Structure 1
């Protein structure tokens, strides 16, 4: 249990680090670039995020699942064949995607084509990204340490070189190249685990079928998580795109922490029996809902002060957007328990795909009608409705694999705690002149209120937390 906890911590740090660099630099960049130029970056960046799925295919899930099972039941040679045979799919797909992207942008000069070319290193980073291998091995500490230095260097370069809206190209180049270098560092350690490259794909027909099945939900997911920004840009100006994109940044950072639970638990679920899976699912769901509701209400209570403090006065119009976007911190990870941890771990790829495909269609329809009339607010409404429907479908399609009453026994209580904590935070006055220290104090008080109420109530999960803390300190004394 302690190893799983440490892996959750390590992977949480890694997921936060993937968004930490833009998060750290946002206060600086939002003031230097301004809403209009930042909106251009958002459109370009999210277009590239969509293209990246054609480079990495579905290997982040297939690879993690396969490596986890091979590590548990296979031989070192089988691990070597699995790694190389899977990465060949990714390597070839990356070459094709990069060539097609460069040719189309160069020949047709589509909108922001020159900025898109600067983001080609991002596509290369996806092509060579083998973090799924280390995640399958549950070796998360190595992943975190190797990327830290690269990310920190990029922050320094941004602060030194990006000084005005005209420096947008420098920012794009720094971000794309640093991400590419971050992916290459994984390769320095691969020889510790696998042998020389093999001359064949890994279970070609089976893997190709899984890639095709899982590519559909990957594309669908990106439609309403990445292409929603360029789509908004078609109907509205880049300023509205900047408001919409930045209003999600804090939520996305927190999502990186919470969804790390799914990334760690999924390999564990893949190697467990059905009886053990039910227990793991219940504990994972409670941890996810607890963290999701806690973070969501703390952000909600601080939004009004946080936006002008963090983003600047020009971004105040996005305050209500950020407030309501925090609901995704609850919905997305909760659905991930049933999609990533259960459906993918048990090779129920079709059940994994169905909800997000429906979500993508719904998002496109809602965006078409709402974006043009209500701008960023309409885009926010569209994504919240979509995420809610996707969550319901994820629970429904795998309903035969779990006991609803058992798994959700304590979940309503967490929502009650969250509501009480939110009310406390909203009525609390700003008693400290400094915005930063006032938000910090309010957050700490809300945290204590939430945890205090939680341990006053009879949650099954409380005992797991107490036991985990006891084991942790016992190990530390040895």
Structure 2
């Protein structure tokens, strides 16, 4: 098994764990804290995320890309790591001080905001960008897995009623803080301490700010929607939206995992190799995998949403059904776009296209949210998110249409989309009053899987007969 497969498995395991833990705790939390309690956490966390963004700037992409391109040179690795980190540390201290001013002067819920300060401070120690650039996914997964398990156990032990919302907030942010601190023992083994000059630090500021523009733009339709919901409606609507968004993370987490693994590999290949066939082949395989994961999982979850939501969340969360139907289709566009940007745009340093696409998505989201949230609340925010992902994906695809085999990639996704639509239409409209809701849920899952596989095979059979090729040639 090569390192790409290993890293994808390691990172996928962790991403699934990140999703699995909330899935385990959400049925409990939704009943104990209610939509309002979840909304308090979600709103406070969303605001604190903006401060974290100003600490990290574009480091998750820039730092990853920089380390990946020079990781074979120990001297450059040491100098670049410490010069980038000192920039991050300076920003962390400065932004943390500003956040405390916000807590005591502007915050709607001062106590919740103060708890979230732990999350803001934790960004000072976030070096995931370095470990990902070094392709050290195993170390991250093992340590973070233990912390996630501990966090989940604490939720069940200490969160007992609606008044424990602040305890819940504290547990969640302490888990993040410990995850960041736990990675530092690896640093001294790889890069000895080095005190960089200001000129060495300054080199990283401009390219970081360029990618930071993308981070800010993306945040407007990833984070701002919940803040706008809290301002234009109420915390219960934020709670509904947050609850639906957690489930949507299931298909997107695997796609994000793929992008995280492939970004340093593609960067290193573009920097050290001239064989474009390898990079084209990896890009094509990633498109196929992303199309399969995003379309099948999204359509499947949508198809069983009427049964899943009352079982999973309990009564009072029926509004999440509509949110599922609007938000989940965005997974396909997010998946396709994620592959293009993490495996082509960012490794090739085509930052202008990436930044512009993100701002188009942000503008779309802000306009739609402003028009729809006051009247349709969480549903309006969901529409804004869907349209934003479509705009971002379409723009990125259009801008690189002459640089990659875009027609081939789009054609590859069609069978997965067709199978997903057929599966969704059949299982969503399949009902039986003679079967209990839990039995109906499992029956729909089985039927959905069979329909998806059969539809894919039928399309493959028809295509091979028309083109007069074998199934083996088609897969290759």
Compute the TM-score of the two structures, normalised by the length of structure 1.
0.91
Candidates 211, 214, 220, aligned match of 1:214: 211
Q: 1:101 to 1:463 in 2, by over 3 A?
A: farther
1:410-429 → structure 2 map (5 Å cutoff): 410-429=412-431
Deviates more, 1:403-412 or 1:211-220: 403-412
Deviation at 1:420, TM superposition (A): 2.1
Candidates 107, 111, 133, aligned match of 1:136: 133
Residue deviations 1:267-319 (CA, integer Å, cap 9, x gap): 12112244432222111111101111110111011100111111110111221
Q: How many residues align?
A: 464
Residue deviations 1:412-471 (CA, integer Å, cap 9, x gap): 12211212222342344459956455434432442343234435516999869989xxxx
Question: How many Å separate the matches in 1 of 2:291 and 2:188?
Answer: 39
2:259 aligned with 1:262, yes or no? yes
Partner of 1:403: 405
1:285-304 → structure 2 map (5 Å cutoff): 285-304=287-306
Question: How many Å separate the matches in 2 of 1:176 and 1:221?
Answer: 22
Deviation at 1:196, TM superposition (A): 2.1
Partner of 1:119: 116
Deviation at 1:206, TM superposition (A): 3.9
8 Å Cα contact 1:64-1:133 kept in structure 2: yes
Question: How many Å separate the matches in 1 of 2:110 and 2:282?
Answer: 47
Q: 1:354 to 1:440 in 2, by over 3 A?
A: same
Partner of 2:92: 94
Q: 1:254 to 1:181 in 2, by over 3 A?
A: same
Question: How many Å separate the matches in 1 of 2:403 and 2:214?
Answer: 21
Partner of 2:318: 316
1:318-397 → structure 2 map (5 Å cutoff): 318-397=320-399
Candidates 101, 105, 128, aligned match of 1:103: 101
8 Å Cα contact 2:327-2:383 kept in structure 1: no
Residue deviations 1:316-357 (CA, integer Å, cap 9, x gap): 122111222111221112111112221101111111110111
Question: How many Å separate the matches in 1 of 2:473 and 2:199?
Answer: 40
Partner of 1:30: 30
Q: 1:462 to 1:126 in 2, by over 3 A?
A: farther
Gaps spanning 5+ residues in structure 2: where?
none
Compute the TM-score of the two structures, normalised by the length of structure 2.
0.91
8 Å Cα contact 2:107-2:113 kept in structure 1: no
Q: SS of the counterpart of 1:345?
A: coil
Deviation at 1:126, TM superposition (A): 1.9
Residue deviations 1:238-275 (CA, integer Å, cap 9, x gap): 11111122111111232111221111111121122444
Question: How many Å separate the matches in 2 of 1:250 and 1:461?
Answer: 38
Q: 1:117 to 1:402 in 2, by over 3 A?
A: same
Deviation at 1:215, TM superposition (A): 0.7
* Aligned CA-pair RMSD: 2.4
2:441 aligned with 1:439, yes or no? yes
2:37 aligned with 1:40, yes or no? no
Partner of 1:49: 49
8 Å Cα contact 1:82-1:202 kept in structure 2: no
Q: SS of the counterpart of 1:347?
A: coil
Q: 1:210 to 1:165 in 2, by over 3 A?
A: same
Question: How many Å separate the matches in 2 of 1:271 and 1:431?
Answer: 57
Q: 1:250 to 1:227 in 2, by over 3 A?
A: same
